[in-house]
Amino acid sequence: MNANRAATSAPVGWRMRLTTVTTCLQRVVPLSVFQLVFRLALAAVFLKAGLLKLSSWIPTVQLFADEYQVPLLPPEFAAIMAVITEVGCSTLLILGLGTRLATLPLLGMLAVIQTFVYPHAWSDHLTWGAMLLFLLTRGGGPLSLDYLCGLEPLRGRHTA
Handedness of CA 86, 83, 72, 113 (dihedral sign): negative
To the question of pTM greater than 0.85 for the whole model, the response is no
How many beta carbons lie within 10 A of that of residue 50, not counting itself? Answer: 20
CB environment 20-45: b (16+ within 10 A), e (fewer): eeeeeeeeeeeeeeebbebbeebbeb
Contact 144, 97 (CB under 8 A): yes
pLDDT over threshold 50, residue 148: yes
Indicate whether 11 pLDDT > 60: yes
39, 99 Cβ separation under 8 angstroms:
yes
28-32-36-41 Cα dihedral, nearest 10 degrees: 70
Q: For residue range 25-49, list pLDDT tens digits in order.
A: 888 889 999 999 999 999 999 999 9
State mean pLDDT over 91-117: 97
pLDDT tens track for 43-83: 999 999 999 999 999 999 999 999 999 889 999 999 999 99
CA distance 156 to 141: 12
